[in-house]
Amino acid sequence: MSETFVGDEADGRPRERRLGVLGSPIAHSRSPLLHRTAYRALGLPWHYDAHEVTTDALPAFIDGLTAEWRGLSLTMPLKETIRPLLTSVDAVAEASGAVNTVLVTEHDGRRELGGFNTDVHGIREALERAGVADVRRVMIVGAGATARSAAVAVAQLGAEHADIVLRSPGKAGSVVEAARAAGLSTEVVALHDPGMRLIEPDLTISTLPGGVGVGVNFVDAAAPRSSSILDVAYHPWPSELATIWQEAGSLAVPGLAMLVHQAVGQIRVFVHGDPLVALDGEERILAALLDAVGLDAAGRLRD
């Protein structure tokens, strides 16, 4: 029997629903492939598409949501700008200051928009399933929404300290705040600071967009000074940093693995209304999603 919210059936069958991923640019998104694969496996007549939506266009898109909408996935630059449009946010979204998932429901005839963050789940699961363990000191490259999610995720993995690395140290405030609220001590380091040679993290997480170079100075000073790297960018892959880590014999976890695991979290929200409630047959669903994007169970690209 297909999984649905209680009461979301017509004549004993799941209702058709619309879902989608919003962002700009969005043409490269793998989210439609992942979600369509999952809903087909779950036997749900749900339709999931990509929508090019800028920050300025977001309020109008939200206003135009009709009754058949179930939920939205959000990518940059919308993970922060969605906040004023929401009815509520969950604890993880509050802690990270970022929303990548919106659940659309109705209550007493009023539409309600619940915001969630499944990027934290995606980062944590991608690292754990790749075998990354005993993480105490982490280097986080970047200062945006995903960097804040990374700080929360590594705190859940047992990290104690985060070095926040970025081009403009003055922009590190929100990441530092999220990291400290999660229980991490922090240090902010400029991207080209030679002092990075003294940093020896257990794990590096790059949250820079795909195609954004870090520069020769950073590579010389920091890479690979950790045994593992998670680069959230997944196109092109391997990224510049992933290549450097792999050539040194270190583990490089692809951002595509994070994308798959955060999608599982989103599907939990859309199906159950709760990111902590697992899907029936979730390991089977996860295997189908990994296979759809060419990854094995540990998140490695298949040969």
Q: What 3 state SS string does 236-253 have?
A: CCCCHHHHHHHHCCCEEE
Contacts of 199 (CB under 8 A, 6+ apart): 137, 139, 163, 189, 222, 225
- Distance separating alpha carbons of residues 285 and 74, to the nearest angstrom: 21
Active site residue 171: no
- Read off φ and ψ for residue 80, nearest 5 degrees: -105, -40
- Distance separating alpha carbons of residues 58 and 46, to the nearest angstrom: 22
Phi/psi region, residue 91 (left: phi>0; alpha: psi -120 to 50; beta: rest), is alpha
- Distance separating alpha carbons of residues 262 and 153, to the nearest angstrom: 12
- Distance separating alpha carbons of residues 297 and 189, to the nearest angstrom: 35
User: Among residues 79, 121, 148, 268, which one is catalytic?
Assistant: 79
- Distance separating alpha carbons of residues 293 and 225, to the nearest angstrom: 29
Longest dimension (CA), the chain: 66
**Residues with catalytic function:** 79
